[in-house]
């Protein structure tokens, strides 16, 4: 069943960032204090060295000047006209004095070199400490930015929820007031009729009737409805310490230290009015380890690594997110603001995003071969083959699987490209697939990929053989939709008929093949005659059919209760999914491996099946054999 929760809740996904900020801010201050002391020591040493080197420069300059002085005494002798003997003695004395001065200045220069040359100041230690402090400051600012962003997202969601709740309250109050008014009117009419009926049986009938007509209105206060006052909005205060504002700069300031420039952190804007409902086929993706869903902003739950979320940011069980959480508040990095994701596709342990301009990005431990960002625990969004697709039409569809390391791209012009482990080798740059122009491609966690062509044919792709056409689809009735379900597939033709092929040991093809593989497509025949299928989904050896009446039929392997009938008994015949609201028809059904999902007309979202590995989204790690409401995921009514 559903869990009891307040109408509006300000989640605390930002708390971990705040804790990081509170922890690293004092460490940064301590580091800067040590840096300042090293800087004082280095500055004093550098000043002393500069003074010593100044002395050296002065003494050695004096020595250089002495070396370059002219020392020819003939002019002096010529002026004084000394006798030869006196002149020779004078010259000897003169040279002795010059030599003494020369040797003295030479010694002073040599003596001054040592203190200057051998005075060492530890600049590397200061630089190392400064780098350490700058790294800490970066951590502090990143935590402050993540804290502010996550809190802002939380507050925006809370404000939107509160606005919706108050509008709902006002509408309900207006409805009840109208009902109260109508009820009071009915009561007064009833009382007047009772009076007239009683007067009709009296002797003085006319007088009694007159009394009824002039009688005061009957008291209807007992019909008053007490409307509870709307509680005050508790609000959701944004954090004070936005990066780069005054309080933040004051918090990180360390006396006497010049810090690097602060990088501003853009805050998310409040959500605008909701747009039309997004088809869940493009906005929902279930992986083998996690789920992503777009409800005016992607929410995620399950295995953090597969979803592209660093384990340190997982708010629940280590490595898990147990309730749907806004991806923006926990993911590392972001997509380009001018080219956001339009569709998401998941594999067993990772996900791929198709942007509005037709680029493909990967995040998470995708496990597909060695493409950068895939299979390496990469959390930052990484664009796939940007140089290859730069001059080609945009990608409109993408699929891939990890069991066989294949990626398939469908471009706007209908051309199909593949990469990965193909035909016994590695295709490291996408190559064009020789097949008719395509419009769609589908895959699940399996060995094959299904491609729908413009002509309404379905082709198969696997790593160990050339693409092949699926036989058995009717001529003149082209396929318009293909659904790939891990070990089997269904296709809907233009006439609305459904065909299936693949494994059928549990009746998942919806037709009798004697339990054998249906290698060619065949008409689905086993559905109840009074139910018309409008959508198909499936996982590992199971199929789910959404009917025109808004119900879900299921068949196949019932591991972890994912058939939704309240048991774990495998079914070879169709059974109805239970515990879905009778007055709120289902408009979409989804599944992957051992998990199943449904969206109702009013916008409610239900989940059931395998909960031990990642949780069905209800805050636990328990299997659910019946659908449970996931209140964190809600859609506009349709």
Task: Give the domain extent around 70.
Answer: 14-130
Q: 565: domain CATH number?
A: 2.130.10.30
Domain end marker among 130, 145, 166: 130
Is the pLDDT reported for residue 6 higher than 50? no
Q: Is residue 471, in this structure, part of any structural domain at all? A: no
What would the pLDDT profile of 279-318 be if each residue is shown by its tens digit?
Answer: 444 556 665 555 666 545 677 877 776 666 776 677 666 6
Q: Is residue 621, in this structure, part of any structural domain at all? A: yes
Report the C-alpha gap between 464 and 461 in whole angstroms. Answer: 9
Nearest Cα residue to 454 out of 483, 413, 501, 395: 413
Q: Is residue 516, in this structure, part of any structural domain at all? A: yes
What would the pLDDT profile of 48-75 be if each residue is shown by its tens digit?
Answer: 888 888 888 888 888 888 778 765 555 5
What would the pLDDT profile of 412-429 be if each residue is shown by its tens digit?
Answer: 999 999 888 776 677 888
What would the pLDDT profile of 165-184 be if each residue is shown by its tens digit?
Answer: 777 777 777 777 877 888 88
Residues paired with residue 597 on neighbouring β-strands, in sequence order: 590, 607
Q: CA 60, 66, 72 angle in degrees (round to 5)? A: 165
What does the mean pLDDT of the chain come to?
80
Is the pLDDT reported for residue 367 higher than 80? no
Domain end marker among 110, 130, 150: 130
Report the C-alpha gap between 471 and 487 in whole angstroms. Answer: 17
Q: Which residue did the predictor score with more confidence, 47 or 304? A: 47
Domain end marker among 111, 130, 149: 130
What pLDDT is stored for residue 293 in this prediction? 61
What would the pLDDT profile of 89-124 be if each residue is shown by its tens digit?
Answer: 777 777 787 788 888 888 888 887 888 888 888 888
The answer to whether 462 and 400 are in contact (CB under 8 A) is: no
What would the pLDDT profile of 447-486 be if each residue is shown by its tens digit?
Answer: 678 999 999 999 998 877 788 999 999 988 999 999 988 8
Q: Is residue 336, in this structure, part of any structural domain at all? A: no
Is the pLDDT reported for residue 376 higher than 50? no
Q: Is the dihedral of CA 149, 152, 156, 157 positive or negative?
A: positive
- Packing angle, helices 15-67 and 84-118, rounded to 10: 170
> How many domains does one find in the chain?
2
Q: Is residue 60, in this structure, part of any structural domain at all? A: yes
Per-residue pLDDT averaged across 417-445, rounded?
83
Q: How confident is the model at residue 236 (pLDDT cuts 50, 70, 90)?
A: low
The residue length of the chain stands at: 638
């Amino acid at each position: 069943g559903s869990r009891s929760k307040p109408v509006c809740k300000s989640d605390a996904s930002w708390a971990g960032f705040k804790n990081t900020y509170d922890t690293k801010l004092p460490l940064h201050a301590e580091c800067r204090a040590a840096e300042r002391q090293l800087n004082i020591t280095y500055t004093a040493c550098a000043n002393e060295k500069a003074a010593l080197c100044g002395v050296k420069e002065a003494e050695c300059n004096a020595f250089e000047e002495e070396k370059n002085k002219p020392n020819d005494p003939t002019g002096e002798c010529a002026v004084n006209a000394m006798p030869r003997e006196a002149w020779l003695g004078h010259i000897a004395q003169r040279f002795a004095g010059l030599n003494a001065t020369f040797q003295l200045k030479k010694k002073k220069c040599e003596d001054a070199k040592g203190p200057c040359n051998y005075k060492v100041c530890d600049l590397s230690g200061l630089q190392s400490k400064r780098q350490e402090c700058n790294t800490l400051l970066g951590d502090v600012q990143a935590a402050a930015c993540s804290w502010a962003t996550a809190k802002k997202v939380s507050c925006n969601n809370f404000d939107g929820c509160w606005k919706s709740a108050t509008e709902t309250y006002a509408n309900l109050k207006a409805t009840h007031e109208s009902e109260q008014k109508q009820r009071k009117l009915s009561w007064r009419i009833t009382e007047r009729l009772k009076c007239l009926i009683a007067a009709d049986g009296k002797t003085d009938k006319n007088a009694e009737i007159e009394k009824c007509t002039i009688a005061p209105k009957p008291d209807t206060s007992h019909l008053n409805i007490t409307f509870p006052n709307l509680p005050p909005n508790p609000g959701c205060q944004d954090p004070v310490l936005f990066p780069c504002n005054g309080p933040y700069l004051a918090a990180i300031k360390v006396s006497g230290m010049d810090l690097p420039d602060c990088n501003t952190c853009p805050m998310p804007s409040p959500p605008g009015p909701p747009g039309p409902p997004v088809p869940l086929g493009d906005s929902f993706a279930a992986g083998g380890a996690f789920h992503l869903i777009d409800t005016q902003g992607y929410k995620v739950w399950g295995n953090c690594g597969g979803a592209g979320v660093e384990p340190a940011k997982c708010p629940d069980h280590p490595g898990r997110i147990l309730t749907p959480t806004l991806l923006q508040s926990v993911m590392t990095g972001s997509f380009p603001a001018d080219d956001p994701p339009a569709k998401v596709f998941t594999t067993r342990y990772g996900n791929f995003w198709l942007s509005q301009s037709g680029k493909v990005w990967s995040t998470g431990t995708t496990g597909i071969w060695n493409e950068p960002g895939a299979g390496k625990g990469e959390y930052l969004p990484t664009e796939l083959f940007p140089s290859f697709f730069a001059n080609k039409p945009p990608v409109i569809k993408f699929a891939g699987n990890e069991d066989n390391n294949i990626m398939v791209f469908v471009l706007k012009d209908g051309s199909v490209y593949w990469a990965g482990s193909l035909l016994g080798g590695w295709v490291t740059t996408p190559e064009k697939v020789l097949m008719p122009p395509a419009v769609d491609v589908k895959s699940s966690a399996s060995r094959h990929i299904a491609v729908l062509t413009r002509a309404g044919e379905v082709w198969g792709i696997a790593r160990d053989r050339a693409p092949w056409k699926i036989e058995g689809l009717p001529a003149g009735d082209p396929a318009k939709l293909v659904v790939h379900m891990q070990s089997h597939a269904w296709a809907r033709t233009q006439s609305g008929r459904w065909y299936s092929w693949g494994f059928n040991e549990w009746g998942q093809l919806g037709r009798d093949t004697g339990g054998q593989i249906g290698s060619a497509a065949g008409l689905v025949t086993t559905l109840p005659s009074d139910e018309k299928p409008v959508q198909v989904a499936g996982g590992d050896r199971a199929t789910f059919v959404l009917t025109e009446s808004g119900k879900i039929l299921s068949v196949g392997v019932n591991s972890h209760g994912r058939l939704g009938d309240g048991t774990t008994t495998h079914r070879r015949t169709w059974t109805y999914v239970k515990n879905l609201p009778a007055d709120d028809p289902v408009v979409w059904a989804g599944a992957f491996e051992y998990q199943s999902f449904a969206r109702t007309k009013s916008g409610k979202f239900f989940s059931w099946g395998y909960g031990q590995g990642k949780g069905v989204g209800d805050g636990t790690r328990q299997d659910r054999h019946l659908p449970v409401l996931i209140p964190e995921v809600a859609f506009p009514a349709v």
